[in-house]
Amino acid sequence: MGRTGNPARLAIALAVAGCLAVFLLYTSFFGGGRPALQPSALRQHPGQEVTLSGMVARRLPSVGAAARFRLRDVKGSDAVTVSYRDGLPDQFKVGRDISVDGRYANGVFVGKPGTMVTKCPSKYTDKKTT
Amino acid sequence: MPQLGQAALVLCLGLLGYAAIAGATAAYTRKRRLALSASNALIASFGAAVVASIVLAAALLRHDFAFTYVADHTSRKLPTLYTLSAFWGGQEGSLLLWLLILTGYSAGAVLLNRRSAPDLVSWVVPILGALGTFFAFLLVAVASPFSTQLAPADGSGLNPSLQNPYMLAHPPCLYLGYVGLTVPFAFAMGSLLARRSDERWIVSTRRWTLVAWTFLGVGQLLGAHWAYVEVGWGGYFAWDPVENAALMPWLAATAFLHSVMVQEKKGMLKVWNMLLVILAFSLSLFGTFLTRSGILSSIHSFTESSIGPWFLGFIAVVAAASIALVLSRLPILRSETKLESPISREASFLYNNLLLVALCLTVLWGVVYPLLSEAVTGTERVVGPPYYNFFLRAFGLPLLLLMGLGPLLAWRRASVKGLRRSFLWPTIVALATGAVLLAFGAGSSIPGLIAYTFSAFVLATIVEEFVRGTAARRATAGEPWATAFTSLVARNRRRYGGYVVHASIVLLAIGIAGSSAYDTVRQATLRPGQTLSAAGYTVRYASTGWREHRAQNAIEGRAPMTVTHDGHPDGTLEPGRNFYPAEQQASSEMAIGRNWLRAEDLDLVVQRVSPRSQAIELKMLVKPLVNFIWIAGFVFLAGSLIALWPDAREQRRLALRYREAGAVVRA
C-alpha cells in the first residue's frame, strides 16, 4: 500500500480494530475456555465444567441409562468414577485414552452427552522397538 | 524387496540433497550447466520415490508381514482396496506418500517453467530440493516404512474406522492439497532470492495454487461426508484440531488466491502476498505436525511420536528463514499504486483478506490455546465449538456478503450510479427472501436468517453477472443464448469459474445453516415393534428384531426400521453395528434416508444393542438442507476446473507481457 494517508487505510485499521475488539469481548464475556484436567486434578475443581482426559481403567455396572466406568490418569494411578448418559463411541474400551466434558460432584464425574472422544491407537503410532 | 525400497529412499535423499546444494550454488554463481544438473536431479528424485512407493504397495498387496509396517496396518482378511489404503493409514506410509507427491509436484513445476522462467526456476530448484530433503531424511533415518521383522502369521489389521471407501480418497486429497502449497511457496521464495519484483512467480504458480486449494477443499468435504455417514453422530465437522489443521491452510490459500489478483492488476499487496504464501505453507506443515506429534487431544487421536520435534524444528526454520528473506527484500516489494477508495474492487479484496486471515488466526488461536494457557497459567484450558461457531458467524457472515459485493465493484473507485445498477436487483431479491423466510418461521435462528438473506443476495449477483455477460456477448457477436453463454465462460474462465466457486460457498453456507440451526434430534430405547417420532417422521423397529450376518471381515448387525412421514409410508432403513473380530472392535453404521423433495435427511444411529431383549438405543436426527453441503462439493469442483482449464489466449497474453517487460532483475 502507499505510504500516504487515505480513507482505505482508515477503513482497514477500523476493520482490524473491530476484529480485535470482537475477540476481546468474546474472551471477556465467555471466559476463554474451560480447564482440561486429568482425574488427579479434578477434586480441586468441584462443580466447574471441565474437559476430563484419561485412560479407561475398568467398566462398572450401568445405572439406568447411564454407562459408568473408572477413568485414571494416563501416567498415574489416581482415578475417578465417570457417569455418561449417551452412546459410547465405537472406539471406547478398557485401556483406551478418552476425553469428555462435564462436572465433578459427590465423587462422580458426570459427563455431558455427546462430548466424549476416544483416541484411536492404531493410527500413527510411534515406531515399535523390537 | 525391503532393501530395494530403502535403497530407493537413500537415492531419493541423495538426489534431493544434491538438488538443494548444487542448485543453490548454481543459482548464486549463475552456472547454467550446474543449474540444469540440479533440476534434473530434482526430477529424478521423483523416479526414486516412485520405486520406493511401488515396493511398499507390492508388500501390502502380497501381505508380506516381514515388513513391520505391513504387519502393523493390515491383515489377511482385509479387503484389497483397504489393504492398499493402508499405504497412508500409518505414519511411515503417509510420509512416503508425502514425499512421492512432493517430488512429483516439484518435477512437474520445474519441467513446466524452466524454459519460460529460467532465472526464477534456478532458485526454486534448491528450495524444493531442501524441502524434499527433510522428508526423505525422515523416511531414511527416523520413520522408514521398510524396517523388517520375523514375519508373523497375520497382521494387526486396519482400524475399523479407516475401513471405509472414503479412506481411499480423503487422505490422498488432503495430501495433494497440503503438499501442493509447497510450489507457490518455493516460487515466492525463489522470486525473492532472484530479487525479482514482478508477478512472474504468481503467474507460474497460479494453477498450482488452485490445484492445491481445490484438493484441500475437496479433501475436507470428503472428510466431512465420511464423518457424517460413518462416525454416526450426525455431524460433519467437530472443530477438532486435526480438522482445523486442514481448514487453516485452506483459509490462508483462499485469501492468497484473492489478493494475488490485486497484485496482478494493481501491483499492490506484494509483502502481504508473500506473508500469505508463507502462512499457508507453514500451516500445512503445522497440520502435519499436529497429526504426528500427539501434542493435542484429537478425535483423530495420534499418539505421541518421535517425529514431532523434527517437524516443529522444521516449521521454525522455514518460518524464520522465509520471514527474514521477506524483510531483507522489502525495498523491492513496494507497492506500485495505492488504494484510491474504500469502495472499490481492490478494497473489497482487502476486506475479504482481513476477514479470512482473522478467521484463520482465531482458529489457530483455538487450536494452540490449550498449550499457551498451560504455559502461562499452569492449567491447560480448551475452547470448544461455541468459540469457533461464534467466530465463524462474526467473520463468516460478512465474508458471505462480500462475495456478492466484491466482484461487482469497479476497480479504483465505484460510482453511485454503478452501485445502483449492480446491486438494485440483488438487494430486492435478498430482502424478499429474508421476508418470506421470516414469515415461514426461519427467525428462530437469527444467524440462520442472515445467512439465507446474504446467500440470496450473492446468488442473485452471480446470476446477474452471467445474464448480463451472456446478453452483452449475444448483442455484440450475434450468437444464440447457449453459444453466447459457453463462449462467455470459455473466454473468461478465471472470472466465471470464480463465480461458480462462489455459488458453491453459498450452497455450503445454506447447508451448514440449515443442518445446524434448524435440526431435530430424538433418542430412545426401542424394543421390537416400538416407534419413535421426530419432525413429522415416525420410525418403527421391525417386530422380527435384530438381525446379524457374517461378512468378509466383520459381523454385521442390523435393525430393520419402517419409516412414515406425516402418516405416509416413506421406505425402510437399516441402521446397525459391525463387529470386527480381527481388531476386536465395533463400529456403528448409520442409516440415512435422503429426501430430495423435502431437502432433508433422516439419520438413524444404533448406539447400543441388548442381545437378550433385542432392545436398541436409537438416535434419530432430522437434518434439513444438509445435502446442500455435498452438492456444494461438486459445484466447487466444477468451478475450480473451469478456473483451472488451460486457456491458450491467456497463455499468449502472459507470454507477450513478460517478453515485453523482460525480467526485472535487481541484482
Contact of B89 with chain A, judged by CB distance below 8 Å, is answered with yes
Q: Name the domain count of chain A.
A: 1
Residue of B nearest to A114 (CA): B233
Q: What is the pLDDT of residue B468?
A: 92
Average pLDDT over residues A42-53: 87
Asked, for residue A6, whether it belongs to a domain, the answer is no
Question: B37 with B44: CB under 8 angstroms?
Answer: no
Strands B600-610 and B381-382: unpaired
Give the residue-averaged pLDDT of A69-75. 89
What's the CA gap between B176 and B218, in Å, rounded? 10
pLDDT of residue B135: 94
| pLDDT of A127 above 80 | no
Nearest CB to A123 within list B302, B341, B619: B302
Residue B317: per-residue pLDDT: 94
d(CA A33, nearest CA chain B) in Å: 4
Give the dihedral sign, CA B163/B168/B170/B176.
positive
Query: Above 0.95 for ipTM, yes or no?
Result: no
Neighbours of B367 (CB within 10 A): 25
Query: Quick one: B104 exposed, middle or buried, by C-beta within 10 A (0-12, 13-18, 19+)?
Result: middle
User: In sequence order, what are the beta bridge partners of B622?
Assistant: B520, B602
**Side chain identity at residue B368, one-letter code:** V
The reply to whether residue A32 touches residue B381, judged by beta carbons under 8 angstroms, is yes
- Report chain A's mean pLDDT, rounded to a whole number: 76
Q: Which residues of chain B have pLDDT under 70?
A: 231-234, 293-305, 583, 654-667
Q: Which residues of B622-661 are buried (b: 16+ CB within 10 A; e: fewer)?
A: bbbbbbbbbebbebbbebbebbbeebeeeeeebeeebeee
The alpha carbon of residue B400 is apart from the nearest alpha carbon of chain A, in Å, by 16
Strand-pair category, A108-111 with A79-84: parallel
Q: How far apart are CA B424 and CA B403, in angstroms?
A: 16
d(CA B618, CA B232): 11
Confirm whether A119 is domain-assigned: yes
Query: Do residues B251 and B295 touch, judged by C-beta distance below 8 A?
Result: no
Q: Tell the residue number behind the cell numbers 453511485, with chain if given.
A: B416
The verdict on A68 touching B (C-beta cutoff 8 Å) is no
Give the pLDDT score at A4.
Answer: 46
* A89 part of a folded domain: yes
pLDDT at A40 over 50: yes
Any B CB within 8 A of A37 CB: yes
B561-564 CB contacts, 8 Å cutoff, 24+ apart: B561/B591, B561/B604, B563/B537, B563/B538, B563/B539, B563/B593, B563/B602, B564/B537, B564/B538, B564/B540
Q: pTM for the complete prediction?
A: 0.88
**pLDDT at site B502:** 95
Q: For residues B390 and A6, which has the higher predicted lDDT (pLDDT)? A: B390
Report d(CA B496, CA B500) in Å as an integer. 6
Chain A hits for B306, CB-CB cut-off 8 Å, are 126-127
Distance from CA of B90 to the nearest CA of A (A): 5
Is the CB of residue A42 less than 8 Å away from at least one CB of chain B?
Answer: no
Tell me the CATH number at A88: 2.40.50.140
The C-alpha of B291 sits at a distance from chain A's nearest C-alpha, in angstroms, of: 8
Tell me if chain B has a CB within 8 Å of the CB of A94.
no
What is the extent of the structural domain holding A69? 36-124
Structure confidence at residue A120 as a pLDDT band (50, 70, 90): low
C-beta of residue B606 within 8 angstroms of C-beta of residue B632: no
What is the reported pLDDT for B233? 67
| Distance in angstroms (rounded) separating the CA atoms of residues B416 and B395 | 27
Q: Is residue A5 part of a domain?
A: no
DSSP 8-state code for residue B138:
I
Domain assignment present for A72: yes
How many helices (H) and strands (E) chain B has is answered by: 20, 13
Report the 3 state secondary structure along A83-97. EECCCCCCCCCCCCE
Contacts of A17 by beta carbon, 8 Å cutoff, 6+ apart: none
Is residue A95 in a domain? yes
Helix (H, G, I), strand (E, B) or coil at B137: helix
Q: Are B390 and A127 an interchain contact pair (Cβ–Cβ within 8 Å)?
A: no
Contact present, A49 and B384 (Cβ < 8 Å) = no
